[in-house]
Structure 1
Amino acid sequence: MPLDVCQLPLVGGHPALDLANTLERGGESPHDFLTDSSALLRWSVRVAVVSDAEAEQVGRAWRDEPAAAHAGLATVRDIREGLHLVLLATITDADGGTVGDPIAAGAALVALHQRWSGAAARARLTLDSSRVRLAYGTVPAMLVPDRIAEAALDVMLTADLTRVRRCPVLQGGCGWLFLDQSRNGSRRWCRMADCGNVVKARRLTERRRAARPGLLG
C-alpha cells in the first residue's frame, strides 16, 4: 500500500522540490500522492506552505466551493509538472549532457510564469517588521496554489540550480529531486538510509551470487 502523502520523506531541501517528489514517475503507472484536495491541504501544512489557521480557511472555502478545490489541485499539479521539467533541464548526466529536455523546459517556464503572474495579481504589499514584502495567498480558495507558485519561483530564482540532483534511476535510485547541500557537492542519493542502502545491499547480494560458483568449484 502506498504511503500517505504526509508520510513521504522530505528530502528535497525546499518545498518546491518536495512537491516534485509527490509524484512517483517510475514504472508504467506513476502514483500521485496528491490524490485529492484534502491530501494537498495536509501536505501544504506539513511543508509549511500554509499555517494551520490558513488551512482551516482554505478548507472552509473549498467545502463551500468544490469546483475551487478541484481547480486548486489541478493548478498545483500543473506547477509540479512544469517545475519538474525545468529542474531536470538543469541536471547534467555523466557525459555532460542535460537529463531533461531544454525545449520542454522553456515551454514549462512560460506556463510557470503565467501561474506566478496570476498569484502575484492576487498578492498584496504588506509592512512586516519595517520591511515591505509581497504577501501571496490573499484569496482563501486560491491560497494553496498561489503559495505553491511563489515557492516554485523562489527555488528557481534563489537556489543554486547547479546543486539540483536526481536520485540515480539507472543505478537503482527512485528519481526524486533534491538540492545537494553537502560541502563538496558529492551527494548521490535522496536518502542514504533508503535508496543508497537498498542499492548497496542489492549489489552486495549480486557479488555474492557471482562469486558462489567459483567457491563451489
Structure 2
Amino acid sequence: MTDSFRGEYRIVGGHPALDLVNTVSPRTRGGAAEVDHLTSPAELLAWSRRSGLIDLRDYSAVEGTWRSAPELAVKALNATLEIREATYDVLAPRAAHAVIAADGVKQSEGSAFERLMLRWSAAAARSMLIPDPARDRGIAELVVGTSPAQLIPDRLVVAAVELIRTVELRQLRACPVDDGGCGWLFLDRSRNGSRRWCSMEDCGTRAKIRKLGERRRATSV
C-alpha cells in the first residue's frame, strides 16, 4: 500500500474482490480505518479503471451515465461499499494473520452472505448470455454489467461470489498488522507459500527498517 491512493497506489490482492477490500487501510476486522480510498463516485471510477475491472469503453459509458444522473453514481458507490465490507467480513476470519478487533464486526457473517447474495441476484438479472460460435471453449459468453449505471458493483459482486466459492484458503493471507503491516488481503501464489507482506516495496520494507532501528537502539543502550 501507500499513503496516497492518488500516488503510487498498489494493486496487490491478486483478485478484483481482494483489490476492492484493500481500498481501506489499515484493514483490521471491526476496527476503524484511517484511510478510505473510495469516498466518491469519481474515486470509484478511477480505481475501477486502474485495477483493470473496466476498460476504456466501459469507463466512457459509466462516466457519461453518472455525469447525467449523479444520483445513480451515488447509488453505485453505496452498493460497492456494501459489497466491499460484506466480502471482507466473509473472508477476513479465514485469512492467515488477519487481525480481528476486540469489538468484532458491525454485521454478522450470515448477514454478509445475505447482502452479497442479494447484490449478486440483482447483478445476475442484469447479465446476458450471448452466443458466440467463434469461441474455442464454450458456445456463449456471459456478459456481466450490461447497465452502465450499475456496471461496476455488478462486476465486483460477481467476482466476490466467485472468489468465495473457489478460493484456496491456504493462499488467503492478510498483511500482518501486528508486525507493522496494513491488514490488506491477498492471495499468496508463491511457489513455497512464503509471501508475508502485501508488498515488499511498502509494508515489507517499512517493517525491515523498523526492526533495524530497534536493533540499533537496543545495541546502543
Deviations 1:35-79 (A, max 9, x none): 211111111112221111111111111111111000000000110
Deviations 1:99-132 (A, max 9, x none): 5579822321111011101000111111232532
Residue equivalent to 2:213:
205
CA contact (8 A) 1:24 1:30 kept: yes
CA shift for structure 1 position 175: 0.9
1-structure distance, mates of 2:144, 2:33: 34
Residue equivalent to 1:141:
149
2:49 pairs, out of 24, 45, 49, with 45
**RMSD of aligned alpha carbons:** 2.2
CA contact (8 A) 2:24 2:33 kept: no
2-structure distance, mates of 1:195, 1:170: 12
CA shift for structure 1 position 6: 6.8
* More displaced 10-residue stretch of structure 1: 153-162 or 177-186: 153-162
Deviations 1:142-188 (A, max 9, x none): 11111111111222123313311000001111111100111121211
Q: Does 1:157 align with 2:161?
A: no
Equivalent residue runs for 1:35-184 within 5 Å: 35-93=39-97, 104-128=108-132, 129=135, 131-184=139-192
Unaligned runs of 5+ in 2: none
SS of equivalent to 1:126: strand
1-structure distance, mates of 2:13, 2:170: 14
Unaligned runs of 5+ in 1: none
SS of equivalent to 1:7: coil
Q: Does 1:19 align with 2:27?
A: no
CA contact (8 A) 1:119 1:137 kept: yes
Query: Matched residue pairs, number?
Result: 209
Task: Using structure 2 for the length normalisation, give the TM-score.
Answer: 0.86
SS of equivalent to 2:117: helix
* More displaced 10-residue stretch of structure 1: 11-20 or 45-54: 45-54
2-structure distance, mates of 1:119, 1:5: 29
1-structure distance, mates of 2:141, 2:183: 35
CA contact (8 A) 1:173 1:189 kept: yes
CA shift for structure 1 position 31: 1.4
Q: 1:142 to 1:6 in 2, by over 3 A?
A: farther
Q: Which structure has the greater CA radius of gyration?
A: 1
1-structure distance, mates of 2:7, 2:155: 18
The higher-RCO structure (CA 8 Å, 6+ apart) is 2
CA contact (8 A) 1:4 1:33 kept: yes
Deviations 1:8-36 (A, max 9, x none): 10110111111111111458552111121
